[in-house]
Amino acid sequence: MANQPKSFEEFYYLQEDKICDIEVLEEYITNNNGNVGKYEGNMYCPECRKAILAFWHKSSKRRAHLKRIPSSSHRETCSYNYEYASSKKVKEYVDSLTYNEIQDKLNSIINMLCKQRKSDIGKTMVGDVGISKEQNPMLIVERKENTDVLRALRRKRLNTWIDQSDGEDFSVFYGKVKLGIREKTKVNESTGEPYTFYFLDIFTQNKQGEWKYRTNIYRGSIKDEINKEAVYNIVMIGCLNFKFRPFTIDLANRDAIKFQEVNSSFREG
């Protein structure tokens, strides 16, 4: 189990039975003279909806965030109960899966993280009857001293603030996005032959409702099939790379991405 308290960028708001972003809370607090007001005591873990959260204001060292209050606890099946898996173990885990296995994993994660904002999915929430901790898609099994140990995957929404303070550990990146394809051609220095490679561009929506470029993912020879006008739910396992501004995301492997056109069937990376 986790020794250090984890922070949250979103929360389950009991009074309205929905998942809210921390930006909503920050705006409310700013407009109410620094008071948490109606949200106090009504903010819960977005995954298990049991642990009560409290707001921590922005400081010189850390952005505003939510933390579990010490007197409350998560459900046993909640991934926030468990220590984070190391990047090495996440990479080993992803590489151990077949294509279908990793796609099934991402499918479960996208259902949990991208669709749980709907109030009618309570029956499928982690912690409810019939869902065990082994079935929680945000947990992976790590072999340690001949014993299977559950470890949690880090998570990061794509439309929140991201900078180098977030580190470069393997994480689950997710959110609602628009997509674009960029094609580039270079000449192989050894053979003199041209070759083509692709990037998947990701756009997120700002407060004004505008879709702005966020980041990109190198796809090599893979040219993903996308609809430029569509909105997608996307999930990927990768790490931040700050070599190119503002950042790029390096996938754990080429199959560790999945996106679904909203209100349509899955499209696979």
pLDDT, residue 119, reads 46
Tokens coding 133: 């901790």
What is the C-alpha separation between 111 and 79, in angstroms, rounded?
A: 15
What is the C-alpha separation between 80 and 46, in angstroms, rounded?
A: 10
248 forms beta bridges with 241
Name the band, by pLDDT with cuts 50, 70 and 90, for residue 225. very high
pLDDT in tens, 241-254: 999 989 999 999 99
Span 168-196, average pLDDT: 94
Name the band, by pLDDT with cuts 50, 70 and 90, for residue 118. very low
Compute the Cα dihedral for 106, 110, 111, 113 and give only its sign: positive
- Mode of pairing for the β-strands spanning 171-187 and 154-157: parallel
Residue of 239 and 63 predicted with greater confidence: 239
Contact 188, 203 (CB under 8 A): no
DSSP 142: E
> If DSSP codes are grouped into helix, strand and coil, which group holds residue 164?
helix
User: Which residues lie closer than 8 Å to 49 by C-beta, 6 or more apart?
Assistant: 12, 125, 127
DSSP 193: -
Instruction: Report whether the peptide linkage leading into residue 70 is cis, meaning its omega lies within 30 degrees of zero.
Output: no
Place of tokens 């070599």: 243
Cβ atoms within 10 Å, residue 176: 16
Contact 237, 252 (CB under 8 A): yes
pLDDT, residue 266, reads 42
Contact 76, 133 (CB under 8 A): yes
Name the band, by pLDDT with cuts 50, 70 and 90, for residue 63. confident
What is the C-alpha separation between 29 and 23, in angstroms, rounded?
A: 10
Contact 202, 158 (CB under 8 A): yes
What is the C-alpha separation between 90 and 28, in angstroms, rounded?
A: 37
Cβ atoms within 10 Å, residue 144: 10
DSSP 52: B
> By percentage, how much of the chain surpasses pLDDT 70?
90
Name the band, by pLDDT with cuts 50, 70 and 90, for residue 123. very low
Name the band, by pLDDT with cuts 50, 70 and 90, for residue 5. low
The distance between the two most distant Cα atoms of the chain, rounded to a whole number of Å, is 67
Tokens coding 87: 């990047």
259 forms beta bridges with 234, 267
154 forms beta bridges with 171
Query: Is the pLDDT assigned to residue 72 strictly greater than 50?
Result: yes
What is the C-alpha separation between 242 and 117, in angstroms, rounded?
A: 30
